[in-house]
Structures are given as C-alpha cells and as structure tokens.
Amino acid sequence: MPILSRPVAFAATVACALFVSACGPHTAAPTADSRLRELYTHEWQWRQAQFAESADERHSIVDHLPNVDAAAQQIRLHYWQDVLATLQSIPRPELSPAEQRKRRDALTPLRQLRQHKELRPSV
C-alpha cells in the first residue's frame, strides 16, 4: 500500500465512523476517555504499520524497511501534528485519573516525534 494512502485511509475511516455514529437514532456523545483511547489506539496501530520494527507474538517482522523519503517524513509530521491537536482538544479534567496518566505519558513521545520531523524533515 503506498505511503500516501495510509493517512488518507485512516482519515476516511475516522470520518465514516463519525458520520455513521452521528446518524444513529440515540447516539450518546463519546466520553473523553473513549476519545482518548481511540486516539492512542489508532496512533499506535498507524505507527506500527509505518515502521514495523519488531516481531512479537502477534506480528512477524516485515520484509522491507520503512519509507524515509522527504514526502514520507512530511506525511508523518502532519499526522503527528494532527494527533497532538486532537489529543490537546480532549479536556483533561473530563478524563478519568487513569486516562489522565495515559494522556500525560503519550504527550512527551508524540511531541518528540513531531519535533524530530520538524527539525530534520528529510531524515
């Protein structure tokens, strides 16, 4: 699958899910906890698909290296900027204590990933 289609596919999936859930007859608004869980789950799955660096009991080692050209780096930068913006839009006081800790723990590595791409966009 080309590198450009993964973020587009992710965005389309999220948009469709939001549209379908909004069309439901008695759909309750997602809680801050559920929004955060969905965000970090999708981000982690996306990151694993992008880099696929290690094998575990669920995944085997892929037979190729990640794409590291300038276009791929730009896509990653924009993706992490969007993830951080979404993460910061989730009101921290509405999160449970456990999810507040996960939010805090997610912020630092996401900021570092974004900063790395901002400072070294072609590496």
Contacts of 80 (CB under 8 A, 6+ apart): 110, 113, 114, 117
Average pLDDT of 38-56?
81
Domain that holds residue 86: 31-119
Question: How sure is the predictor about 85, in pLDDT bands with cuts at 50, 70 and 90?
Answer: very high
* Domain membership flag for residue 2: no
How many distinct structural domains can be found in the chain? 1
Say whether pTM exceeds 0.75.
no
Tell whether the model's pLDDT for residue 57 goes beyond 70: no
* Domain membership flag for residue 93: yes
* Domain membership flag for residue 59: yes
- DSSP letters spanning 4-38: THHHHHHHHHHHHHHHHHHHSTTPPPPPHHHHHHH
* Domain membership flag for residue 36: yes
| pLDDT top residue among 22 and 87 | 87
* Domain membership flag for residue 112: yes
What is the rounded CA–CA span in Å between residue 64 and residue 45? 18
**Closest of 39, 19, 118 to residue 86, by C-alpha:** 39
* Domain membership flag for residue 16: no
* Domain membership flag for residue 44: yes
* Domain membership flag for residue 21: no
pLDDT score for 1: 43
